[in-house]
Structure 1
Amino acid sequence: MPATSPLHIAMISTPWFELPPAGYGGTEAMCAALVDGLVELGHRVTVIGVGHNGTRGRFVATYETPQGDRLGTVGPEVVHAARAARTLLSLRPDIVHDHSTAGPLQARRRRTPTVVTAHGPVTGVTGEYYRALGDTVHLVALSRAQQAQAPDIPWSGQVYNAVRTADYPYRVHKGRYAVFLGRLAADKGVHLAIDAARQADMPIVVAGACNDPAERPYVDAEIVPRLGEDAQWIGEADHATKLDLLACARCLVFPIRWEEPFGMVMVEAMACGTPVVALRRGSVPEIVDDGITGFICDRLEQLPAALRSVDRLSPWACRERVRQRFDTLNMAYAYQALYHLLAYPRPHPQEPHMGAQPVWTLGPYGD
C-alpha cells in the first residue's frame, strides 16, 4: 500500500475535557490538533470523546458533558474506556490511537494496532503500567527526555506535540508583565515564578485553576501569600484570554520542578512570539533554543537576570521555531508515518512478520 493511503483512525480522547478544551487541557488540545491535521492529510478520523465536538473529525460521545469536575477519580476513566471499546466494535478502524489512561487495557483483545501517546510521567506507577502493557500497544514518547527516563520501555517512536501556528496571534510589541500559565501545582514552580519576577522588578500574571483538592494546601501556603499588585492571580483563563495573555506578555516563566515530558505552554507562547524563561528540566532543552527563543537556567538564582534580558530576543525567531518544528502538520505527518508502518507492515523477506516494529523518531525540523 502506498504510504499516503487514506486510513480510518479511531482517536480516543480522555473523559475530562472537550476537544479542543475551553481552558486547561494539554492532552485534549494536542488530540484536537492531531485530528484536524490528519483530516487535512486526507484521513478519516472518528473521535471518541465527551461533550461536543470541536474538531474536523466524526464524533462519538461517551459522556454528554465533560467529567473534568471528577478529574482524578477512577469512575469516569473506566466507564469511558468501556464505552469506547463498545464503539470500536462497529467502527472497524485501521488504527486506534488512545490518549486515555484505562483504554489501552482493551488493546490486547483486538487485532487492530493501538498507538498510545505517553502524556504523563514514565516513572513510578505510570511507568510500571506502560511496562505491563508491553507489546499490546505501540507507545510513543513526547520527547527524547521522556524516552531517556525509561529506556527499557519498548518505545515505538517519539513525536513532539504541536499547535496550529496560524491560530496563535503574533505580536512584536509586548507588555511589561511576565506570565505563568498552567496548573497551580508545586511541581510547576508557580511560587518560584512569582519570586523570580519580583526580584527582576517585573509584574507577573498567574493564570491557572486549582481543581485538584490535593493542590489546595500548596496554593494557600505558597501562592496566595505572595500575591500583590505586582503578582496577580486571575484564575483559569479561557482560550481567548490565554491567547491574549501569551501574545502580550514580555515572556513566559516556566520554572518546572520535575522532568515534564512536554510543556505545551512553551510552544504556545513561542507561537505568539513570546520567549520562554525556564529551568533546565525535562523537555525544556528540546523546545527552547537558549539565547534565541528564550533562556534556560540551571539554577534558581539565574532566573531574575534571564527575565531582565528577554527584550533582546526576537519574537519572529520564537514564532519561526514553532512553525518549523512544532506545527500541527509536522505532528500529523509523523503520526501518519507510524500509522502506515503499523497498518501495512512489511515483513523481512527471510522472516515471517511477528508484529514488532522498529523504533523511529521525528528529529529536528522533521528529519
Structure 2
Amino acid sequence: MRRRICYFLGTYEDWGGASRALLNFIVRVDRQKFDPLVVVTKPGKLLEKLAELGIATAVRPKQDWNGNPFKFVLDVFQAIAFLREQKVDLIHLNGGSLGWKPPELIAARILGTPVLVHYHIVSKSVTPFLRFVQGVIAVSRFVAEHTPFGGKSISVVHNIADVARFGHGRSIRQELGFAESDIVIGFLGQIKSIKGVEMFLRLPEALDNPKVKFMIAGETKDKDPEFIARFNAAVAANPAINYVGFRSDPENIYASADILVMPSQWEEPCAMVLFESAAARKPIIASRTGGTPEIIQDGVNGLLFERDDFAALVRHIRQLIDHPAERAALGERAYQAVEKSFIQAPVQKLEHLYLETLG
C-alpha cells in the first residue's frame, strides 16, 4: 500500500534553494511506496510541471496566529478537513513554509498524523510548535549542530543533484553576448550581500584579462538599497560583467560558464549551487563556510578558500584559467562525487526515515 506524503513547499515556484532542494526529493521518491502531494501557496507554473510528472498538488495559503482565537480554531478545523480529504499519512514540510504557530501542526496532532520538518538554514530560534513534530531533517551537520531543536530526533540528509536537468543544459553564450573563446566566470544565486556578490564584482580588476568575462544570474533580493545601488553601478561600469537577472533556465547558465564561484560571506548551509555545478560538470570555487566542506573536498571535487581571503580566490581562478585540463578534470571529479554520494543515497535515507516514522 502506498503511503501519502504531504509536502508543504512554502512557495509556488521552483527557483530558490529550499524549494528546489525539496522538489528534487519529491520527484525521486519511490512511487510504488509513496504517493506525494505537494502543497503550494498559490497557482503557478510549478503546478503544471508537477502535473506533467504525475504528482498531485493542492493550493493552500500560509496561515498563522493573527491574534484572533476564533479564526485560529477555524484554521485548525479547515486543516483537519484538508488532511482527512487528502488521506495524508505523513507531513513533510520545509522549515518556514508554514506560519510561526501553524494550525496544520495542531490538526496533525489531533489526527495522529506524523510530521517531519526540513530545515535548510541555521535558525537561532524555532517555532514552539516544534514539540508537535516527530522528527527534524537538517540539510547538513552544520545546521543540525547550530540550531536549537530542543532534543528532537535529527536526521542529516544532504541535498541532491538533479543530473537529469543540470547535466543537460545547453550553452547560450551567443545569446548572452559571450564568444566561444571567452573564459566565463559565473555566479548563480540570489543577489544579496551575504552571498559575496561584492567580492565577485572585484574579480575583473584583479584578474585583468580581456579574455575573461563575468556572468551573474539571480534575482535581486537584498533589502539594503545602498547595496543594490552599488551593485547596479558596478555592473553598469564594467562591460566585462553581464548581469542576466532571474532565469528560469539556470541549467543553461551553468552550461554557458567555464568556472563557477560561490564566495558566500555567511554560513552557507548546503548550497544547491554546489550540486548543480557538479551535475553540469563545471568546476567550482567556494568559500569555506557552513556545510560547504561537507560537500567539497578541497582540491578533489572543488576548491575552497577562507571567506575573507580574496587573494586566494584570485589565485584559484588564475590556476584554472591557465590550466584548462585541470579545469575539466575538476569538473569531472565533481560530477563523480555527486554521482556517488548525492543522487540516490540521500533519497534512500529519506525514504527509510519515512518508513521509520510511519512505524
Fold agreement, TM-score > 0.5: yes
Greater shift in the superposed pair: 41-50 or 269-278 = 41-50
The question of whether the paired residues in 2 share the 8 Å contact of 1:141 and 1:155 is answered with no
Q: Find the aligned partners of 1:36 and 1:152 in 2 and give their Cα distance.
A: 28
1:31 aligns with 2:22: yes
Q: Deviations over 1:175-222 (max 9, x none)?
A: 51111111111100111012135412332111111256x144312124
SS in 1 for 2:92: strand
Alpha-carbon distance between aligned partners in 1 of 2:182 and 2:157, rounded to the nearest angstrom: 33
DSSP 3-state at the match of 1:204: strand
CA contact 1:169–1:243 (8 Å) conserved in 2: yes
The secondary structure found in structure 2 opposite 1:324 is helix
Match of 1:339 in 2: 354
**Structure 2, gaps ≥5 residues long:** 67-71, 172-179
Pair 1:97–1:290, CA change in 2 (3 A) = same
Superposition deviation, residue 320 in structure 1? 1.4
Distance in 2 separating the partners of 1:86 and 1:294: 49
Q: Give 1:141's match in structure 2, choosing from 138, 143, 168.
A: 138
Among 208, 218, 226, the alignment partner of 1:208 is: 218
1:246 to 230, 254, 264: 254
The reply on whether 1:96 has 2:91 as its aligned counterpart is yes
2:355 is paired with a residue whose SS is helix
Deviation digits for residues 31-84 of structure 1 (CA, Å, limit 9, x no counterpart): 222111114454111111132242232111226xxx9xxxxxx9xxx9xx8776
2: CA distance, partners of 1:323 / 1:174: 30
- Identify if the C-alpha distance between structure 1 residues 41 and 306 changes in structure 2 by more than 3 Å, giving closer, same or farther: farther
Cα separation, partners in 2 of 1:288 and 1:138, compared to 1, 3 Å: same
CA, structure 1 residues 333+6, in 2 after alignment: closer, same or farther (shift >3 Å)?
A: farther
Q: Percent identity?
A: 20
Residues 264 and 174 of structure 1, relative CA distance in 2, 3 Å threshold: farther
Alpha-carbon distance change, 175 to 62 in structure 1, aligned in 2, over 3 angstroms: farther
Contact 1:104 1:137 survives alignment (8 Å): no
Cα distance change of structure 1 residues 320 and 174 upon mapping to structure 2, 3 Å threshold: farther
Cα drift, residue 104 of structure 1: 7.2
TM-score by length of 1: 0.77
Match in the other structure for 1:59? 57
Q: Are 1:324 and 2:324 an aligned pair?
A: no
Is 1:115 matched with 2:116?
yes
Say if 2:121 and 2:143, in contact at 8 Å, map to a contact too.
no
Within the candidate set 38, 43, 46, 2:37 is matched to 46
Q: Which ranges in structure 1 are unaligned for 5 or more consecutive residues?
A: 68-73, 345-367
1:303 corresponds to 2:313: yes
Q: Give matches, 1:261-272, under 5 Å.
A: 261-272=269-280
Residue by residue over 1:250-285, the C-alpha shift from the partner in whole angstroms, topping out at 9 and shown as x without a partner, is 111111111121110121011100111111111111
Q: What is the CA-CA distance between 1:293 and the residue it aligns to?
A: 2.0
Paired residue type of 1:33: N
Normalising to structure 2: TM-score of the pair? 0.78
Question: What is the Cα-based RMSD across aligned positions, in Å?
Answer: 2.8
Does the CA-based 8 Å contact 1:292-1:317 persist in structure 2?
Answer: yes
Cα deviation for residue 224 of structure 1 reads 2.7
Deviation at residue 249 of structure 1 after TM alignment: 1.1
Q: CA deviation at 1:134?
A: 3.2
How many angstroms apart in 2 are the aligned matches of 1:114 and 1:89?
Answer: 15
Report the residue type matching 2:243 in the other structure.
W
Alpha-carbon deviation of 1:26?
A: 1.9
- Distance of 1:293 and 1:322 partners within structure 2: 9
CA gap of 1:130–1:139, structure 2 versus 1, over 3 A, is farther
Higher RCO, Cα 8 Å, sep 6+: 1
1:197–1:276: structure 2 CA closer, same or farther, 3 Å change rule?
Answer: farther
- For 1:305-334, what per-residue CA distance to the aligned partner results, in whole angstroms no more than 9, with x for missing partners? 11112331412212111212221x333211
8 Å Cα contact 2:165/2:251 also seen in 1: no
Q: Give the Cα separation in 1 of the matches to 2:224 and 2:314.
A: 26
Q: Which residue number in structure 2 is paired with residue 236 of structure 1?
A: 246
- Residue of structure 2 equivalent to 1:193: 200
In structure 2, what is the equivalent of residue 7 of structure 1? 3
Give 1:170 deviation, angstroms: 5.7
* Partners of 1:273 and 1:230 in 2: CA distance: 24
Q: Secondary structure at the match of 1:163?
A: coil
One-letter identity of the residue aligned with 2:355: H
Residue 293 of structure 2 is aligned with which of 279, 285, 288? Answer: 285
Aligned with 2:85: secondary structure?
Answer: helix
Aligned length: 313
Which letter does structure 2 place at the counterpart of 1:101? L
What residue is the counterpart of 1:257 in the other structure? Answer: 265
Query: What is the Cα deviation at residue 225 of structure 1?
Result: 2.5
TM-fit CA distance, 1:138: 1.5
